[in-house]
Chain A
Amino acid sequence: MGDPFTQVHDFTPGIADSGLFWTVPIEPGAIKVNPATGEATLRVHALKIPDFHDVFNSFGIVPQPTIPSRVSFEVRWAGHGEAADLRDPTYGFSGHYVNGPATIDFTASNDGSGVVYRSDATGQSSPGSPAVGTEQNGVFFH
């Protein structure tokens, strides 16, 4: 995670009353996935979303007003890395996953500002290994 004390934008959907965290429904066609190879693409265009400014706000630790914004992004998982089967009875989930590098192209803007922020294609990295797979949890975990 970047330094939250110097953060200036935080584009997330927020936390639902149920506790569902930063998760929103999307069109099924936004996802192309091959769990066998670990390849996947997530493509979303012009999603209306608040800008919480910083993670303290988006976690609800220091609530502040948000700025209406919109984001477009395409995340690509290259897959074809190490495969792993995982079963965790403590957290109640199991799955089969394939690792591989991931990259993102995004644009983000605050409504009415006229300024568009765009990711640079080069120099991207991941602190943990991105993964794609199948998972079962809760009542589907046996």
Chain B
Amino acid sequence: MARGLRDRDWLWRGGVFVVVVLVALLVAVATASGRGKPGDPKPIPGGLTDEFVPTPTDPFAHVLPPFLPFEMSTIGDFNGTLGAAEIQGTAHGSDATSFTFDADMRFMQGTYVDTAGNVQHGAFAFI
């Protein structure tokens, strides 16, 4: 009887421990998913307002136009090489349709601090 109580007590405590661990993991996963995974770059702090006006903080979209004098990187805490271009032209579909296109294309390659605070190296495309 006493041993049964101890076993049940141990099982109960184990159950609490498992629940605590699961809750902790869920909190950790929820926190990580909101910030991005380790290795993921952070966005630049600036960008465009919801009226597409450049702003250095608290933007609606963390992106600025792809030409100087604007910041062309979309990655914050970044040190590397980049290229940016907005290219307009025409395109055709294999079904004989025709279109105009407007492509904002960029690359970033180098060192950055990821969402977990670790220094990383990587290559990225903005499409």
A binds B: yes
**Interface contact B43-A18, CB-CB below 8 Å:** yes
Whether A71 lies near B127 (C-beta < 8 A) is: yes
Contacts of B99 in A (CB 8 A): 8-9, 117
Q: Give bound CA distance, A71 to B126, whole Å.
A: 13
Q: Which residues of B contact A67 (CB under 8 A)?
A: none
Is A65 an interface residue, CB under 8 A from the partner? no
B 110-124 to A, binary, CB cutoff 8 A, 1 in contact else 0: 010101000000111
Number of CB contacts from chain A to chain B under 8 A: 238
Range of interface residues on chain B?
A: 35 or more
The contact of A128 among B35, B86, B93, B111, by CB within 8 Å, is B86
What total of chain A residues lie within 8 Å of the partner, measured CB to CB?
74
Tell me the smallest distance from the CB of A141 to a CB of chain B, in Å: 9
Write the residues of chain A forming the contact surface with B, with a CB cutoff of 8 angstroms: 1-2, 8-9, 11-13, 15-28, 30-31, 33, 35, 40, 42, 44, 47, 49, 59, 71, 73, 75, 77, 84, 86, 88, 90-93, 95, 97, 99, 102-104, 106, 114-120, 123-140
17 contacts between A and B (CB under 8 A): A15-B61, A18-B35, A18-B36, A19-B43, A20-B40, A42-B105, A44-B125, A75-B87, A77-B85, A84-B68, A97-B68, A106-B91, A117-B94, A118-B93, A120-B91, A123-B90, A131-B84
